[in-house]
Chain A
């Protein structure tokens, strides 16, 4: 067994804290729509999906309600598309949560997906989970960064809390080695994550045949696309079991989209052009019909509605009469065109990518 270390303070700052120009969604969109795409070197996403008759992109049946309860996070990952971090103050209020609960009780969606930031850092998180669990939605996901469980004594009982409310835990882990994980997420995050996984396993999470679902999310730690999801899952399973005795159910391989801090990293490391070429080269028309915006609605901390979490970060509200949770109407909302830009290539590369892993 490896020695575990305590999580240390994060190594990077958010774009917001740095007052970086990329903290502006408009500046990000300018970059995404300019350069290689404006020069005609690469085809726009709109042109690409027009070729196969998918423009305008339209929703299918709504299956997933994804609620972002705030951008505050205990860690500051280099690749974070939310620009989350300890200094972010955007936190969903109970008033907005009440409106979300009303929607959750009446939705046709079968999955509720809570994300952040670290959703557990919202002071009303536990109350919200308790109330939402009563709605009896089939699959109730909380996206946990794992290290939060070890970050403070008040979070240590989260594994018990999750179990009590039959929450499906989905956790990011960039790699099964300490070096690659800590480089992306900050020193000590790997060991805290391993400790948290052990705690979850102890409650029955992730064990073979267990109904307490524990899935991992893999994001590449750099300017490259994820490899084959099944092969990565097998490598993660073997390594985590052998090194730490850890079990989990599935691994979702998710492509990093060129927005926010990952966009900043791509530009700073002079990888932006090559990454965009790689995304366009890997474009898979077979992934377009099932991209996650076709079955998901993303709700922001302040109640606005988006086609996906990425459009939320780019400030691209749904193109519908219904734009805010207070006016929520699933039929009107589902009759809309999905807003696209060049970042969408991230969801159609290779086997496709979504918050639930590959789609093609």
Chain B
């Protein structure tokens, strides 16, 4: 067993999850592939969304994968960083909007 939770080499083995559950694994990868095809959104736009979400869910595999994907698509570092900030802003906003709950509770409990 590896002595750390994350090994960059494991990303290459992602497809192996299908070996232990072929039906679900295959369905997942079919779905995954379909999601990132050109559609109402371009594959380029979806790559930037994926990069932002990768940071929000703090998935190191996904960050490696979608940084590389962005480079392959010719996406610039400025575009990538703006996408990360969009994700970060939503994440911090999601924390801060709970401040209203705190304020509500504070006000309710206070004379």
Contact = CB atoms under 8 A, between A and B. Distances in A.
Interface in A207-266: 218, 220, 222, 224-228, 231-232, 235-236
Interface stretch (B16-24, B67-75, B99-107): B67-75
B12 A231 contact: no
Contact of A231 (B68, B69, B73, B76): B73
A26 interface: no
A224 B76 contact: no
Contact of B71 (A177, A224, A235, A236): A224
Chain B interface, DSSP helix/strand/loop, else mixed: helix
A227 B36 CA distance: 14
A297 B43 CA distance: 37
User: How big is the A interface, by class?
Assistant: 10 to 19
Contacts of B74: 175-176, 218, 227, 232, 235-236
Given A228-B43, A231-B44, A220 B12 contact: no
A220 B43 contact: no
A231 B43 contact: yes
Contact of A226 (B42, B72, B76): B72
Nearest to A180: B76
Interface string B29-48: 00000000000001110000
Interface string A175-200: 11100100000000000000000000
A102 interface: no
B51 to A, nearest CB: 14
A281 interface: yes
B72 A225 contact: yes
A58 B73 CA distance: 33
Interface residues of B, number: 11
A277 interface: yes
A227 B72 contact: yes
Interface string A121-156: 000000000000000000000000000000000000
Contacts of A228: 43, 73
Nearest to A222: B71
Given A231-B43, A277-B12, A220 B72 contact: yes
A231 B37 CA distance: 12
Contacts of B44: 231, 235
A321 B76 CA distance: 49
A222 B77 CA distance: 13
A180 B75 CA distance: 11
- Of the candidates A176, A177, A224, A225, the one having the most CB atoms from chain B within 10 angstroms of its own CB is A224
A232 B71 contact: no
Point out which of B44, B72, B74, B76 has the most chain A C-beta atoms below 10 A from its C-beta. B74
Nearest to A176: B74
A355 to B, nearest CB: 20
Interface string B3-18: 0000000001000000
Contacts of A175: 74
A180 B74 CA distance: 10
Contacts of A226: 72
Nearest to A236: B74
Interface in B37-65: 42-44
Most central of B71, B72, B76 by chain A CB within 10 Å: B72
A51 B69 CA distance: 29
B36 to A, nearest CB: 12
A281 B15 CA distance: 12
Q: Which 8 A-B pairs have the closest CB atoms?
A: A227-B72, A227-B73, A224-B71, A224-B72, A224-B68, A232-B74, A235-B74, A225-B72
Interface of B: 12, 42-44, 68-69, 71-74, 76
Interface of A: 175-177, 180, 218, 220, 222, 224-228, 231-232, 235-236, 277, 281
Given A231-B44, A236-B74, 5 more contacts: A180-B76, A218-B74, A227-B73, A228-B43, A231-B43
